Structures are given as C-alpha cells and as structure tokens.
Chain A
Amino acid sequence: MPNKSLDLHVGEAKPGCAKKDPIMIVDKLTKSFGGLKAVDVDHLEIPRNAITALIGPNGAGKTTLFNLLTGFDTGDTGTWLFNGKKLAGVPAFKVAQLGEVRTFQLTKALSLLTVLENMKLGAKNQKGEKLLPALLPAIWKSQEKQVEEKAIEILKKFKLYEKKDDFAASLSGGQRKLLEMARALMIDPTLVMLDEPMAGVNPALTESLLEHILNLKSSGMTVLFIEHDMHMVRHIADWVVVMAEGKVVAEGEAHSVMKDQAVIDAYLGSHQELDLGEVTGRVNK
C-alpha cells in the first residue's frame, strides 16, 4: 500500500483551495476554441512532491489544460506560476528546460531512433547538441559517455535494457509508455505531467507503471497525471482534482472526492436528471 501524503491543503477541500506547498499556481486561466470555452479555471494549486490526479469526463478540458500549462498552447487569459516563475507566453521547450516535463496521450516514442538514442535525446545541456561543437567529437565524446551511462541505469530500472539497440518502433504499446516516461527522467524534471499513462497498456504492465510513478514521488518529484482508470487513481493519488466542462468542480483526497455524489453522477450518469451544467454552475437552478 503506497504511502499517501496527507494534509496537503489549507482550509476546506474545495475547488481552488490553497496548498501548503504549491509547486504550481494557476489563476483565471481560460482558453476558447471558436465559441466553446475549453478551459475556465479560476484558481488551482498543485501540491509539491505529491501525486495529483486530474480526472473528469471526456471533453472536460484536461488535455487542453496540460497543453496550456506546458506551453504547447497559449491561453486567452490568465497566469500560472511554476516554482514562482511566470510561464504565460513561455514556449514549450523552455518550459521543459525549467523542469516541467510532460508525456502525451498518444505516445511519442520516436520510432526512427533506437531505445538508447531516445534516452540520450532526453539529456539536458549536451554540448554536442550545439552546431559548432558538434563538428568536433573531442568536445562532446566524454559527455556522451556519461549520458549513455545514465540512460542505461534508467533503462535497467524500467526493464528496457535488453531492447536498448532496437528501434523504438519495435516496442509494444506499454513498453513505449515506459520509454516515454524513462526518457522524461533524463531531464531531471521537478514536475512530471503524464497524460493518460495507463491508456492502451496491458494489465500485466500496469503494476510496473504504477511502481515507477510512485518512485518518481520518492525521488522528490511532483507528479500530475490525467487518468480515467479509477483504480489507479484510488491506489496512488494523494490528491484528486475533478474537472468538467473546463472548470474545476471538486478537489480533495481520493476517497472523499469519489464519494462526492455530483462527481459520481457526472461520470456514471446514474442520475440522468442532474444536468452536468448544474454541477459546474453553468446553469443556475
């Protein structure tokens, strides 16, 4: 049974509540596509060194929120601070360099590269990645060796070492997810954002993936993940944020949020007469 972090919040557990040690603070963030407001978050704080789950029905705006927070999309309004640094308008690659790393719903393991090359790509501050130094191997050869050692170490932990020289295209879906996660670790991130890490993974690998995510937390990183798999959420999430129709409708520890009737209804639709809009406050009853 994982060691859950407790007592992360300040005051009552409600949408937009403050956290004792937030790594990310989001304010008045909105994004519209055409006339549709995809994201409309008034206030949200993500607790440091904890595993936070972001759940909600399809179309709730979870991936859009990810895109906004990591610089892959620009918000219409709002600010968000990562470790106290303003991120609005910062391009995606700079966000990654600052320590906020994400994975994608449709895994982006680079098939044209081998597993090992994928890993080495992730490393930071490589001298050999600059054009002129690249011309002289003497400059970057030793650093390349260090990077390779680090990569092999992580690959062993993820049990992908045997496949290190295979093209990533030859890995199974679940192995590719592991590779994406392993590769993200090469950057030494502080905040790891996983977009549906369990999607398409066969149940045999699920335990392994969960272990790895827990290890991220014990290594001092913060994790924010989007998921639909409630077992996983209940199992490892220290904190749960529920989104619907672009807004945050509930926050709290896993077991209590699950019991929130409106949240259950939003998902399971057992009380069909309850308009989701009433839950989110869009429709005033």
Chain B
Amino acid sequence: MLFLALVSALAVHPAYADSVGDEFKDRISGNVQFEGTPLDGVLIKVSGQGYEAEVVTDAEGKWRVGVPSKGDYQVTLIEDTLPEGIAVLEGGSTQLVTVGPGGRVSKNFFIGEGERITVSLTDQVIARIIYGLNFGLMLALAAIGLSLVFGTTGLSNFAHSEMVTFGAITSLILVNVISMPIWLALPLAVVISGLMGWGLDAGLWTPLRRKGLGLVQLMIVSIGLSLAARYVYQFIIGGGTEQLPGATAPKMQLFGAVVLSWVDIASMAISLVAILIFAYWLIFTKIGKATRAISDNASLAAASGIDVDRVIRIVWILAAALAGLAGILWAYFRPGIKWDMGAQILLLIFAAVTLGGLGTAFGALLGALIVGVLIETSALVIPNDLKYVGALVVLIVILLFRPQGILGKKERIG
C-alpha cells in the first residue's frame, strides 16, 4: 500500500527466526550439531557492515542470515543457549567470516563437551566502558557543535545529524569517485563540511533570523531541512551501505574482553585531539571567549562590542566541521556509510547535549561520554536492540528534573 511504500526507504530491523534477512541476496548460514545430533534453539548473532541480526537454529540445527553486502562479518554463537555441559571447543564463540564474490558462506562451530570460556563480568564491563568512551568521543564531536549553535542562536537544529552524514558521504565521494588518497580526502571532507556550515548560516539561518522568524519556526525549518537532506543523501548513494577504506581492519584482542582494531584506536585519538584543540580555542582565543559570552548573554555581549553575527558564523563553521569529522569517525565505527546514519544518532546527540547542559560545550562533551558509556553498558542487562532506549529515557528524565543539564545554568523565573 502507499503508506508502506511511503516509508519503505526506512531501515527495518530483522527478528528471531531460523532464517532472517531473506530480502538480501548474500548470506551466511550454518548447522549446529553435537556429535551428529542437531541442536535447535541455539542463538546465533551476526554483525558487521553496520548491520546486526539474530537467528535461532531450527529443528535440524540449521540457520541462515541474509546480509546486505559482501565483506567481513562476525558470527557469534551464544553459548548460554547450548544445552548444559556443551560449549564451543575451538576458535572461540565469536568468529570472523567473509562473504566473498560468491555471496554465500557457511560457518560451523566446533562443539563438544566442555567448559564454556566465560568472560568475567568485570572484564565485560571494562570492555563496554571503553567501547562506550569510543562511541561517546565521536558523539561528543557532534554534540559540541549542536550545543554551541543552541547557545549562540537558541536554535534546536534537527538538521545537525545530517551534517554528520554529510562528512561521511563527502569523504566517500572524494575517495571513491575522485580517487583521492585517504590522508588527503578525510581532512578535505572536514574542511568541506565547515564550508557547508558557512553556507547554511549565510544562505539560510541568518537571513531567516533577520526576517524575524521565531525559534519554533526555525526549529521546524530545520526539520524540513533534515528531511530533504536525508533523502538527497539517499538519492546520491541509494539505500545500501558503503565502506571507507580501512573500515574492516581486523580487531585485535587487547586485554580482558577488549577487542579493538587500530582504526578504533586511531578514531579515539583523533576525537581526543580534536576536542583538545577545540577546548583550547574555546578557552583561550578571543573568538572562543566571545562565543561563551554570547551563549551566556547575547545582548550584553553585543553591547560590549562583540560582533555577534560574525561569531555566530564562525560557530556554524566549527560546528559543521566537527560534525563532519564525527561523521567520518561514525562511518568507521558502525562500520558503514548509509543515507540515514546521521538520523540514527540524532536523538542520542540531543540526549548528550541536554544531559550536559544545552548551550555549554563542555557539558556536551560530558553528556556525550555519559550517553556513550550508558548505551554500551546497558547492553549487558537489557536486550541489544533496546540499548538506545536507556539514552532516550535519560533524555526525558533530565528534561523533567533538571532541564539545564549537569553544567547548565538554571534560568531565572520572573
């Protein structure tokens, strides 16, 4: 029906079944048996390329997962769903497969009697916290920009997440279409993102503010913009997932349960450096101080001679550049570039900004780290596909009880 067609472009999550993702041509399959006897009801998880699926073996021990594209995937057999006293003997319960040109690959686990190699809870928690910080640092880059835009202009910019996607797609085009080397393409993508921010403020936001549009109106304009941008991205790259080179670097076992690739580590380092540079700018440079002044009290700042419009323009450039960088890192984290990758984390960015304090940059950083860790550690206790709910609940609770966030100032009544 038209309704379904209307929203058919949106992501659909797969569910439990013995075969999942039938709409995809490529697939991973397997057969779980113990000494010749098929085991049913065993849970298998497949993840990779920004895609996750879960499947349960049928009465013949068979399972099949369709995957959206060729490449590397992790297949995990959840040992808790094996009968008592049975475990994966060799290779570990998580193994890598590669879906090659043939489009089909199978993965079987070596199962026998034995003790499960369980990972201690502390190791798991530590690993989760580190993954959370990784995600949180990336989220912070996006959140800081959103918070500063809000602080200086009062606008809740729903199109901010599309600037995140913009960075990723721009780097994709530079690398794939223009065949630029990656060490040049990525910084250039960040610069282009900054330019896009300049263009948006010069061409859209400042004229609208001068026209006298209220904040609610501007917010809805940003919603329209986010809708249009999202579908322009889909127009350009279609509904599938693309990868940047190096996205599927192998994961290394570092310590405990922490498994990261060198790309993950580099991402964290880049995020950290970017945040530090930004912090220096905000605290020590004249424009940074002016930004904080305007966030605090715009009319007072203007009265003391600060060129508010110019500062706002610079804030937009920075916010867009940071968001673009966040997009590139998000492309490596997922991994994968998709038309709605920014939209996926829009609410998380808002959660981070609101938690930390709308209008403060350090609040956004703090909020993002907390949201990142919260999401990853909550996956230990609640089902994986509900892990964003934790962040959303935090968002609502914060707005109810402490709307100024952790670092924000309470607004005076009257």
Contacts and interface: CB of A to CB of B under 8 A. Distances in A.
Nearest to B412: A33
A73 interface: yes
Contacts of B412: 33
A246 to B, nearest CB: 14
A91 B142 CA distance: 41
B305 interface: no
Contacts of B413: 73
Chain A interface: which size bin? under 10
Contacts of B414: 63-64, 67, 72-73
Nearest to A66: B414
Contacts, number: 7
A33 B413 CA distance: 9
A12 B347 CA distance: 64
A98 to B, nearest CB: 21
B296 to A, nearest CB: 15
Contacts of A64: 414
Nearest to A38: B414
B404 to A, nearest CB: 13
Interface string A34-75: 000000000000000000000000000001100100001100
A73 B412 CA distance: 11
A272 B414 CA distance: 30
A72 B414 CA distance: 9
B409 to A, nearest CB: 10
Interface residues of B, number: 3
B179 to A, nearest CB: 59
Contacts of A67: 414
A142 to B, nearest CB: 39
A67 B413 CA distance: 10
Nearest to B413: A73
A73 B414 CA distance: 8
Interface in A71-95: 72-73
Nearest to A33: B412
Interface string B385-414: 000000000000000000000000000111
Contacts of A73: 413-414
Contacts of A33: 412
Interface string B321-365: 000000000000000000000000000000000000000000000
A63 B413 CA distance: 12
A46 B401 CA distance: 37
A59 to B, nearest CB: 13
A195 B64 CA distance: 74
Nearest to B410: A34
A33 B414 CA distance: 10
A63 B412 CA distance: 14
Nearest to A72: B414
A184 to B, nearest CB: 20
A33 B412 CA distance: 8
Interface string A186-209: 000000000000000000000000
Nearest to A74: B413
A191 B412 CA distance: 28
B103 to A, nearest CB: 61
Nearest to A31: B414
A73 B413 CA distance: 8
B214 to A, nearest CB: 14
A33 B409 CA distance: 12
Interface string B278-307: 000000000000000000000000000000
A193 B413 CA distance: 20
A37 to B, nearest CB: 14
A67 B414 CA distance: 8
A91 to B, nearest CB: 14
B393 to A, nearest CB: 29
B141 to A, nearest CB: 33
A72 B413 CA distance: 10
A67 B412 CA distance: 13
Nearest to A34: B412
A63 B414 CA distance: 8
A196 to B, nearest CB: 14
B212 to A, nearest CB: 15
A64 B414 CA distance: 7
A37 B412 CA distance: 13
B410 to A, nearest CB: 9
B79 to A, nearest CB: 57
A72 B412 CA distance: 13
A92 to B, nearest CB: 12
A218 B231 CA distance: 68
Contacts of A72: 414
B41 to A, nearest CB: 53
Interface in B79-132: none
Interface in A18-43: 33
B414 to A, nearest CB: 5
Contacts of A63: 414
Q: Which 4 A-B pairs have the closest CB atoms?
A: A67-B414, A33-B412, A73-B414, A73-B413
Interface of B: 412-414
7 contacts: A33-B412, A63-B414, A64-B414, A67-B414, A72-B414, A73-B413, A73-B414
